[in-house]
Amino acid sequence: MSDINFQVPTRGQLERKLSQQIQKLYRNKLDHATGKVSCQLFKDKLVIVIEDALTQPEQLLLEAEKDKDLVEQVRTDLETAMHPMMTKLVEEILNRKVSDLISDTTLDTGRSGIIFMISENK
């Protein structure tokens, strides 16, 4: 008989791990250190807020451009490129399937918000 000390992680532990891994993903893929990453896990949703989400090039473009269209397009393209990696990360940590992802960034504040719709089981 084996002694198995397996404990199911708490919601807080999962939220903390997600926050840390999202910050790590931004550092590794965008070479950007975000501000605070807040995660809130609900029954069928995961809500993430990323402070200081804009990269240095985006900030530079914002300062130089009178029109925000270019920065908005760059941000949209970056978010779209990050979606599969973020989805994989969420699915692995939560062991649940992501059925939808909604994201947006406010250029004035530099905050990004992401909502993952998740299933009960993977």
Q: What is the pLDDT of residues 62-111, one digit of tens each?
A: 888 767 888 999 999 999 999 999 999 999 999 999 999 999 999 999 99
Q: What is the pLDDT of residues 8-35, one digit of tens each?
A: 899 999 999 999 999 999 999 999 999 9
The dihedrals phi and psi of 38, each to the nearest 5 degrees, come to -105, 130
Indicate whether this model's pTM tops 0.85.
yes
Amino acid at position 81, single letter: A
Q: Which residues on neighbouring strands pair with residue 113, listed in sequence order?
A: 49, 104
Contact (CB, 8 A) for 114 and 48: yes
Q: Where are the beta strands (DSSP E) in 15-80?
A: 37-41, 45-50
Going by C-alpha positions, the residue among 102, 105, 106, 98 that lies closest to residue 115 is 102
Separation of alpha carbons 117 and 43, rounded Å:
9
